[in-house]
Amino acid sequence: MKQLLFFTLAAALLAASPGYGQNDKPVNVIATIFPPYDFAREIAGDKANVTMLLPPASESHSFEPTPRDIIAIQNCDVFIYVGGESDEWVNGVLSGVITSGMKIMTLMDCVEAVKEEVVEGMESKEEINSEYDEHVWTSPRNAKLIAQKISDTLSEVDAANADTYKQNTARYLAELDELDAKFQAVADSAARKTIVFGDRFPFRYFADAYGLAYFAAFPGCSTETEPSAATVKFLIDKINAEHIPVVFQIELSNGRMAAAISESTGAKTLLLHSCHNISKSDFESGVRYLDIMTRNAEALKEALN
């Protein structure tokens, strides 16, 4: 009797709440970090719920999911993560929560061919480690591959809205093409092709896309914070020898090393934002990957002139 009452109640609830039925329920997308979150909401428009797991303004490399995050992942339809070193925690979490209908995507897989090419050309493990870069989204060309894959996945999970996803994707890919052209124009008209970072360097794909040479204190998203004196001297000498006007730092950095290099050389310190995450105020005002990258194009222009 009790069971019958439960079923009756559940049926009544189902009937009473629109959006609760299989077909009406909006798709739930969870992305670990900002770029795939932003790409997914560009493509989903108002047809899906898109959530970023990482709290705004927090450091992605030391992120640990809360029990609430794990429940959210368990209940989502599409889960997107980097698939690199910084979010290895995902492997442990996913094995426990994966459900049959859930689609799982990694950014690394979206640009798999690019990754294979990088690793193939390398001789030793040390070389792979120093050149390996999980920050595939920093190249707008890779952003297009990721956006297309998100679009295909959403259309598969939610076929009823596939036309909308396709339209939104076409518009967004055109905007990414414009961004790519903007960077290309900056690189083509530049007086120099070398950028210097008094910081970590998560921009390998970006630099490769526009034929830029780069010198940085640390590779990728190294957790090291104290460079050797020889490294700092090398960067200072490089800037002085080539009269490089800008030394870059990245977001969420203490900026100390870039400031020290700036002081010794007179080069101006500018931010090149790698988009791992954005500030709380940018998040609240709906700042997009396209906005951050457009600011980057301005900074790059100054650095290459």
Count residues near Zn ion (CB under 5 A): 2
The piece of 34-42, 174-182, 214-222, 236-244 that touches Zn ion (CB under 5 A) is 214-222
- Asked if 52 is part of the footprint of Zn ion (rule: CB under 5 A), the reply reads no
Least distance in angstroms from the C-beta of 248 to Zn ion: 15
The C-alpha angle with vertex 52 and arms to 51 and 53, in degrees rounded to 5, equals 110
Taking phi over 0 as left and psi of -120 to 50 as alpha, with beta for the rest, 123 belongs to: alpha
The piece of 89-97, 173-181, 182-190, 218-226 that touches Zn ion (CB under 5 A) is 218-226
- Asked if 221 is part of the footprint of Zn ion (rule: CB under 5 A), the reply reads yes
What is the number of residues in the chain? 305
Do β-strands 103-106 and 213-219 pair in parallel, antiparallel, or remain unpaired?
unpaired
What is the rounded end-to-end Cα distance, in angstroms, of the chain? Answer: 79
Binning the chain into helix, strand and coil, the percentages to the nearest 5 are 55, 15, 30
C-alpha 47/C-alpha 23 separation (Å) is 12
The piece of 2-10, 202-210, 234-242, 283-291 that touches Zn ion (CB under 5 A) is 202-210
Binding letters toward Zn ion, positions 64-103, x by CB under 5 A: ----------------------------------------
Best CA proximity match to 290, nearest among 158, 176, 196: 176
The partner residues of 194 in beta bridges, in order of sequence, read 213
Least distance in angstroms from the C-beta of 167 to Zn ion: 32
Which residue's CB atom is positioned nearest to Zn ion? Answer: 221
Measured from the CB atom, is 221 or 244 closer to Zn ion?
221
Least distance in angstroms from the C-beta of 39 to Zn ion: 17
The piece of 18-26, 92-100, 217-225, 258-266 that touches Zn ion (CB under 5 A) is 217-225
Measured from the CB atom, is 80 or 187 closer to Zn ion?
80
Q: Are 196 and 215 in contact (CB under 8 A)?
A: yes
Q: Note the residues at the interface with Zn ion (CB under 5 A).
A: 202, 221
